[in-house]
Amino acid sequence: MAEVIAFTNQKGGVGKTTACAAFCGGLNEAGYKVLAIDLDPQGNLSFSLGADIEDCNTMYDVFKGVCTAKEAIQCTDTCDVISANILLSGCELELTGVGREYLLREALAAVSDDYDYIIIDTPPALSVLTINAYTATNKLIIPMIAEILSLQGIAQLKETIFAVKKYYNKELEVSGILLNKYNPRLLLTKEVEELASMIADQLGTRILDTRISANVVLAEAPAHGVSIMEYAPRSKATTEFKRLIAEITGIDNGVKSPRTAKSKRGRRKKSE
């Protein structure tokens, strides 16, 4: 059965989609079978991975019962994808039946055994799509940038996370807060990082050791429909995302996490 990991933050522009695409690319490179789920009506993850978003079955069709998850899967150079487009924005009004919070979990149950990891990109909003992602996932990763509005987005997620864990998914855990577009030379970065640590404590999680620096190649890769791992394999961004994958999953893809590398405590165990 696949481990399900979702990237989430109510604030847009914090790098959720970029992180999802990189995560998928790194896991694929390490030899794991990956399914990417695009729950953002903008379809940015689908585009970034080179998937079709128009002439195909999408997550909207899966939610509406037009097709199964398996019938909506597309194969790309990076991983398998169930794409999204603007039709998905109608789900908030159209999905009104009892148990609508479980639709994604039920859909993925039929394909979960075919994959090692399922990676979910959530929309920048607290909607029925976000709740479906939380109900279906094992782990949440919360990307943020060193801005007060980004921090506020995490604070607003807190009650939703607690509610989903209480009523829909007792196994839900927040694996960590990811500092993205990180620049340690800025004073604001340090101030926001300290406040983020306080929110992390309230969520029962931590600031991840790995930081993702601002890098132009991260903006260039989506135009080529591939992850950063394929577009710029020797870049700093690729190295950082490999460290992130190692920190979250325990998979050693040739790059140690910062803490492990400094302490030389040896390799992390591979996930089962």
Return mean pLDDT, the chain: 87
Q: What is the pLDDT of residue 228?
A: 87
Q: What is the pLDDT of residue 22?
A: 93
Q: What is the pLDDT of residue 69?
A: 97
Number of domains present in the structure of the chain: 1
47-51, 97-101, 233-237, 268-272, range with the lowest pLDDT: 268-272
50 assigned to some structural domain = yes
Q: What is the pLDDT of residue 28?
A: 94
237 assigned to some structural domain = yes
Tell me the H-state helices in the chain: 16-29, 44-48, 59-64, 69-72, 91-94, 103-109, 128-136, 148-167, 187-202, 216-220, 228-231, 236-249, 258-263
117 assigned to some structural domain = yes
CATH of the domain at 11: 3.40.50.300
Phi and psi at 140, nearest 5°, equal -110, 135
Question: Beta-carbon neighbour count of residue 165 at 10 Å?
Answer: 17
71 assigned to some structural domain = yes
Residues 104-144: tens digit of each pLDDT: 999 999 999 999 999 999 998 888 999 999 999 999 999 98
Q: What is the pLDDT of residue 67?
A: 96
270 assigned to some structural domain = no
Q: What is the pLDDT of residue 254?
A: 62
Q: Which residue has the higher pLDDT, 265 or 197?
A: 197
23: nearest Cα among 136, 146, 133, 180: 180
Q: What is the pLDDT of residue 230?
A: 87
269 assigned to some structural domain = no
- Tell me: pLDDT of 62 over 60: yes
- Tell me: pLDDT of 268 over 70: no
62-76, 137-151, 162-176, 256-270, range with the lowest pLDDT: 256-270
Residues 151-166: tens digit of each pLDDT: 777 777 888 999 999 9
Mean pLDDT computed over 189-213: 87
Domain of residue 44 covers 3-263
243 assigned to some structural domain = yes
Mean pLDDT computed over 247-260: 66
- Tell me: pLDDT of 150 over 80: no
Ordered strands of the 117-121 beta sheet: 74-75, 80-82, 34-38, 117-121, 3-7, 139-144, 173-182, 207-213
pLDDT band at residue 171 using 50, 70 and 90 as cut-offs: very high
28-37, 80-89, 218-227, 250-259, range with the lowest pLDDT: 250-259
Report the percent of the chain where pLDDT is more than 90.
59
> 3-state SS of 109-161?
HCCHHHCCEEEEECCCCCCHHHHHHHHHCCEEEEEECCCHHHHHHHHHHHHHH
Phi and psi at 178, nearest 5°, equal -100, 120
268 assigned to some structural domain = no
